[in-house]
Amino acid sequence: MSDTPITPEIVAIPRTVSDGATNLVGKTRDEMGEMLVAAGLPQKQARMRVGQIWQWIYQKGVRDFAQMTNLSKAYREDLAAHFTVSVPEVVTKQVSDDGTRKYLVRIEGGHEVEIVYIPETNRGTLCVSSQVGCTLNCSFCHTGTQTLVRNLTAAEIVGQIMVARDDLGEWPEPGRNPNVEARLLSNVVLMGMGEPLYNFDAVRDAMNIAMDCEGISLSRRRITLSTSGVVPEIARAADEIGCLLAVSFHATTDEVRDKLVPINKKWNIQTLLQTLREYPRLSNSERITFEYVMLKDVNDSDDDARRLIRLIKGIPAKINLIPFNEWPGSPYQRSDANRIKAFSEIIFNAGYASPIRKPRGEDIMAACGQLKSATERARRVRRTPDAQTPDPQ
């Protein structure tokens, strides 16, 4: 991390917001090729031009066609007349004492989503949102109390990675090749707002750009998609995206899981586990992550830990224990630290990695499940004429 934390100052960074039909960001190779041909490019040049434009956009961070110097000047002008290269507008950026960065970005329609960047010793993870709100209403999740406003487009999803790279200063100097080895943004987790498998096509297209060697060039093993358990889409995710999978498991009986993760009423624990057993490429090096939020006296007993081990038997797995992050009005409490430790030890002794996730960015409300509140707070500030905090616009 090169920057010194600047808590709790809010920095406004102006950007263009446009995700309309002419935006080249987020388009698959085929889609972009068709757009270029429709704008007059000879069909036989489409493949090569798409590759060149992808490299400018995703490897070099260029947004202005005039800078795409391996295209003729006339063609650059032609592109500028027809298309844009647009990413979400960063409204505010906050940096936590622990270096976590949270961006509030605005997308078409004036909606807002949050992106969180978490620096660690050997890597930096970007937590990306897939929807504004969520159709599901897991009872411990703040996002779940907000109804779905809309799905994000592929441009808005891959655009989140691009704005974070802008802020991290992670585009190569002009004329230099991108260094994919030592990246500040080395991993992506689809663990922000929304259920990624209920926005399948856009998430797939965006992640395929993130993984493409002419795109953002992240290995598929550095991308993790987290789902609450949308069973029919899980196999499709393996085929069409091929990234790592995390599952919000959170309970060891259907009775409790029905309450915590209501999608369980549709696809219960056995059905979900069966699907996970069939998830292709499962091996010890590509384990499924079971996310398990630790809720005091709800799902945190020794019996739960033992039941969990029995349930996942045979699945190469890692269990991420997430201390519950409280939000205003939340109906649960975080399990005591000793309880979480005891739970973790039972799982660890059965042969599974069971790390306890360290809440990051709590001082800026960037931790798991807290994302909605900050947006609402920002909205309230902007709505209140006599608010002390300056309007970031």
Cα separation, 151 vs 162, whole angstroms: 19
CA distances from 37 to 24, 215, 376 (A): 13, 21, 43
Collapse the DSSP code of 186 into the 3-class scheme (helix H, G, I; strand E, B; otherwise coil) and give the result. coil
How near is the Cβ of 17 to ligand SAH at its closest, in Å?
24
117 and 168 Cβ atoms separated by less than 8 Å: yes
356 DSSP β-pair partners: 321
User: In this structure, how many other beta carbons lie within 10 angstroms of the beta carbon of residue 34?
Assistant: 15
343 and 302 Cβ atoms separated by less than 8 Å: yes
Kindly give the residue spans of alpha helices, DSSP state H, lying in 39-173: 46-54, 73-82, 154-168
Return the residues of window 282-301 that contact ligand SAH according to CB under 6 A. 291, 293
> What single letter denotes the amino acid at residue 40?
G
With contacts defined by CB under 6 A, how many residues of the chain interact with ligand SAH? 17
- Contacting residue, 94, 227, 335, 354, with ligand SAH by CB under 6 A: 227
Q: Tell me: does residue 141 bind ligand SF4 (CB under 6 A).
A: yes
Half-sphere exposure of 250 (CA within 13 A, CB side): 27
Return the residues of window 71-130 that contact ligand SF4 according to CB under 6 A. none
- Contacting residue, 23, 160, 325, 373, with ligand SAH by CB under 6 A: 325
- Contacting residue, 23, 187, 228, 252, with ligand SAH by CB under 6 A: 228
Q: Tell me: does residue 136 bind ligand SF4 (CB under 6 A).
A: yes
User: What does the per-residue mask of binding to ligand SF4 show for 41-70, with x meaning CB under 6 A?
Assistant: ------------------------------
Catalytic residue among 114, 156, 233, 291: 114
User: In this structure, how many other beta carbons lie within 10 angstroms of the beta carbon of residue 355?
Assistant: 13
243: annotated active-site residue: no
141: annotated active-site residue: no
How near is the Cβ of 194 to ligand SAH at its closest, in Å?
6
320: tokens are: 């991420």
191 and 207 Cβ atoms separated by less than 8 Å: no
Would you say 56 or 324 has its CB closer to ligand SF4? 324
Q: Tell me: does residue 330 bind ligand SF4 (CB under 6 A).
A: no
Angle between helices 231-240 and 269-277 (to 10 degrees): 20
CA 25 to chain centre: 17
At residue 230's C-alpha, the angle toward residues 228 and 234, to 5°, is: 110
Q: For residues 179, 180, 183 and 189, what is the CA-based torsion angle, rounded to 10 degrees?
A: 160
The option from ligand SAH, ligand SF4, none interacting with 322 (CB < 5 to 8 A, set by class) reads: ligand SAH
Cα separation, 90 vs 87, whole angstroms: 9
Of 61-69, 140-148, 336-344, 348-356, which part binds ligand SF4 (CB under 6 A)? 140-148
Q: Tell me: does residue 140 bind ligand SAH (CB under 6 A).
A: yes
Q: Tell me: does residue 137 bind ligand SF4 (CB under 6 A).
A: yes
How near is the Cβ of 137 to ligand SF4 at its closest, in Å?
6
Cα separation, 214 vs 59, whole angstroms: 7
Would you say 27 or 142 has its CB closer to ligand SAH? 142
Q: Tell me: does residue 248 bind ligand SAH (CB under 6 A).
A: yes
Q: Tell me: does residue 187 bind ligand SAH (CB under 6 A).
A: no
Would you say 59 or 335 has its CB closer to ligand SF4? 335
289 and 317 Cβ atoms separated by less than 8 Å: yes
Return the residues of window 167-196 that contact ligand SF4 according to CB under 6 A. 194-195
Return the residues of window 248-287 that contact ligand SF4 according to CB under 6 A. 248
Q: Tell me: does residue 347 bind ligand SAH (CB under 6 A).
A: no
Query: Using CB under 6 A as the criterion, which residues of the chain lie in contact with ligand SF4 when the complex forms?
Result: 134, 136-138, 141, 143-144, 194-195, 228, 248
Query: Using CB under 6 A as the criterion, which residues of the chain lie in contact with ligand SAH when the complex forms?
Result: 140-142, 191, 194-195, 226-228, 248, 291, 293, 322, 324-325, 368-369
Residues with a catalytic annotation lie at: 114, 368
